[in-house]
Structure 1
Amino acid sequence: MDKRHILVTGGAGYIGSHMTLALLGAGERPLVIDNLSTGSRAVVPAEVPLFEGNVGDAEFVGRIMDAHPIEAIIHFAASIVVPESVAKPLAYYGNNTANARTLLDCAIKRGVPHVVFSSTAAVYGEPDRTPVEEDDPTRPINPYGRSKLMVEWMLADVAQAYPFSYAALRYFNVAGADPQGRTGQSTPNATHLIKLAVQAALGKRPGLDVYGTDYPTSDGSCIRDYVHVSDLAQAHLDALHYLRAGKPSLTCNIGYASGYSVLDVIEVVKRVSGTDFDVRIEGRRAGDPAALVAANRRARTMLGWTPRYDDLKTIVRHALDWERRLG
C-alpha cells in the first residue's frame, strides 16, 4: 500500500511552498490546501495535488481527508500581519484560531495522528530576557500572538484526550528564498523587512520606512532573529520525523539565537545589493516588541535541527535573487 499523504495547509504560500519542496525532496507525498488569498498556484509543483479552499470549511477538508488518507498535517494557513491583527482582531481569531479548531476536529475524527503547527515568537510578547527560552512566560501583546497561542493550547488539550501528538514551532523572523530559485516571498503586500528592503534596493518601491528608533536597543531600532525559510522548512521535516518516531509532543523555537537590528539589516541589504535607497524614520507601530531572539537548544538537541543558511548576507542574497526573478 502507498504511504499516506502529508497535508500542507497554506502550501501555496511563502513558507508552505518551501515546505512542499522539502517534502518532495525527502520522498514524501505532500498535498496542499490553500485558498490562494496570499498564495500562488505557480509555486506548487505540478505533481503535488492542490485543493483550493478554506481549512475552516469542515465539509471541504473532510472530503479531501476521506479521499486521501493523511499521516500528518503541517499547518501554515493563517493571517500573519501584526498591525492588521490589532485593527481586525476578529478576523485573526476567525482565520487563525477558529479555523485551526475545525481542521483539528476533522483530523481527530479520521485518526490523523500528528500535526506540525506554525506558531510564532509573538506568543512571548515582551520577553523578560533575550534569548527567550520555550518555558519563559507567554504574554502576547497583540491579537496575532494570542490567536496562535490559543491554537497551542488546543493542541495540548487534544493530545491529552486522543492518541495524537504535535510539534508547535515558534518561528522568529522568516526571510530569504529557495537557494535554487524555485519559490520565494511572492505576496504583493508583504510586510517582511528583508522583502521590503530588497524591493527598495531594486527600485520597486520608493525607499523604506523604519518604525521606531527609540527602542531600548543599541541603535534604537527593533532587534529580530532572522531565520532562512529553507532552514525553517527543514525544521518541520525534522519535527515530522520526531513525531513519527513516537516521541512526545513538544514546543520549540526556530531561530538562530542571534539578533540584528532593523538598521543593521538595511545596511546589509545596501552592501549586498550595491545600491543605496531612501530610509524614512516613522513612529513605532502598535504591537512591536523591542527585541525577539530565539534560544534554539531544544530544536538542535530534540529535533536534531542543523541550520545550513545561518548568515544574514546569504539570506539577503537569496531574497534579492528571488525578487529579481519576479521582475
Structure 2
Amino acid sequence: MKKTKLVLIYNSPAIWVENDLEILSENYETKALFINSFRDYNVQNLKSLMTADIYYFWFGSLIFFPAILLASFLRRKKIVVAGGYDVAAYHKENYGAFTFSFVSRLFRRIFFLFADKILAVSRFTKNEAIKNANIKSHKIEVIYNTVKNFYVNDEFRKKSVIMVANIDDERYRIKGFDRLLELAKAMPDVCFTHVGKISTDIAKNISFPKNLKLCGHYTESQLIELYKKHSHALQPSRYESFCMTIIEAAACGCYPITSDEGALPEVIDGIGKAVSFDSLDNVIGSVRKELTIERSAKDISIRTLDKYGFSVRQKKLLEYLRGFL
C-alpha cells in the first residue's frame, strides 16, 4: 500500500524538528524541507510541495506563507506546530511575533487561519495562540515536546546548579541570565555552571562571580555528560513556551528549579519546583532548601521520561494524525 506523502517544513535546525522527522517517517513518506527565505522556494522544493498530501509546518513563520497558500489551493491537509515565539506577545520585554506591526500580526493570524489544525507544545502556548492569534480552541491540540532516553544511575553528584541558554541582548532578560548572576553572587558557597554562547556585548559589561563557571558552547554529547555531574538545573526565565533544556537536564537526573512564569510551572509539574523570582531572598531560601534534600537522579529521570519520553510524543502524534486524516 502506497504511503501518504508528508512534507515537514522548518526554518531552523533543531532537536524538536529532528524528533518529529523520525516519528513521522515511520508512518509517512516524509520529506524535510528547509525554508528560510524566498530563494528556498526552488524547483526541487516546489516539486516536493506539489506532490505532498500533508503539509506539517514546524513553527508559524511568515516565510511559510507561500507554502500554506499553495497547500490551500491544492486542498491538502495543513498542520502547524505552534512552538512559542510565533504566538507570543510578551510586551514587558518586547518579545514574540505578536509584538510586531499591525500588518505583521494580521498576516500571522491569516496564516494560522489557513491551517486545518494547530499543535501547541504546552497548554500555556495554546492559550497564547487563542489570545494573540485568534485561533479557535477546538482547532488546537496540546502535544508536549519530547526528549530521548538517557541512561542515568544514582552515583554521587556534588551539590551544584547548571543553567543552559545562549545569551544575547534579547535573551539576557528573557532567559533570566541577570537572575542567575544575582543568585550566584548571593550564594558564593554554591557552585553554578552556565552552558551556552554569551555575546561579546553582554560579556564585556558583566563582572562574573567566581563561583559561576562559564562553559560556552557544548555539543549534545558533552552537555549530557555535564548534566550528569550536576544535582540541580535552573531555568529562571521570564517567558518560556516549553523549554527543552530544563527537560533534558531533568531526563539526565538534575532536579529542576524554575521561575513560576510562562509554561515553566506546567512543564516541570510533578518533576521539580517553580519559584517566584519577585524576591531574591525567597529564591535563595528555596534553592538552599532544595540543595539539602537528597533525591534519586534515576527517579527524576524516570518521572521526566514518563511525561516527555520519545515514545509518549510518538504515540500521541501518530494517533492524532490518524484521527485527523
TM-score (norm 1): 0.39
Pair member with larger Rg:
2
TM-score where L is the length of structure 2: 0.39
Structure with greater helix share of residues:
2
